[in-house]
């Protein structure tokens, strides 16, 4: 994944400033959002973050297996619904993290392609 550096940020702001105050403000907001998302990205890419992602993936897979094997294991209906609720919570969390990383990449692309 590409990173945002100070030089790219400065060039982006300078190019936007040439187009006027409105463009400069928009550029500043983009960079502000990128900075916030950069912190999240760094956390996810850290050893602890990778371990958390691995744990989440394993928990999701465990819930999927339990849901699929519900009839074979003679689970009661409430256990099935609990597993389904847990899976949905894990899926929402992973989707939220993916959305943040996708937004980061989109904003970074905007900075890099701004002319």
pLDDT in tens, 57-104: 999 999 999 888 887 667 688 888 999 999 999 999 999 998 999 999
Residue 17 has pLDDT above 60, yes or no: yes
Residue 18 has pLDDT above 90, yes or no: no
Q: How confident is the model at residue 2 (pLDDT cuts 50, 70, 90)?
A: low
Residue 1 has pLDDT above 80, yes or no: no
Instruction: For residues 60 and 39, give the distance between their C-alpha atoms in angstroms, rounded to a whole number.
Output: 25
Query: What's the count of helices (H) and strands (E) in the chain, helices before strands?
Result: 4, 0
The confidence score (pLDDT) of residue 59 equals 95
Distance of CA 61 to the CA centre of its chain: 20
Q: Is there a contact between 4 and 18 (Cβ–Cβ < 8 Å)? A: no
Q: Is there a contact between 27 and 12 (Cβ–Cβ < 8 Å)? A: yes
Q: Is there a contact between 72 and 48 (Cβ–Cβ < 8 Å)? A: no
Residue 3 token pair: 């990173």
pLDDT in tens, 43-61: 989 999 999 999 999 999 9
Residue 5 phi, psi dihedral angles, 5° rounding: -120, 170
Instruction: For residues 38 and 43, give the distance between their C-alpha atoms in angstroms, rounded to a whole number.
Output: 9
């Amino acid at each position: 994944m590409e990173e945002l550096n100070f030089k790219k940020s400065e060039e982006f702001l300078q190019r936007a400033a040439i187009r006027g105050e409105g463009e400069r403000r928009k550029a500043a907001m983009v960079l502000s959002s990128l900075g916030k998302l950069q912190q999240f990205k760094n956390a996810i890419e850290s050893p602890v973050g990778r371990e958390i992602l691995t744990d989440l993936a394993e928990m999701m897979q465990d819930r999927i297996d339990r849901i699929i094997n519900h009839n074979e294991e003679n689970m009661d209906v409430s256990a099935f619904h609990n597993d389904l609720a847990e899976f949905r919570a894990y899926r929402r969390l992973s989707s939220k993290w993916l959305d943040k990383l996708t937004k980061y990449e989109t904003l970074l692309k905007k900075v890099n392609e701004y002319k």
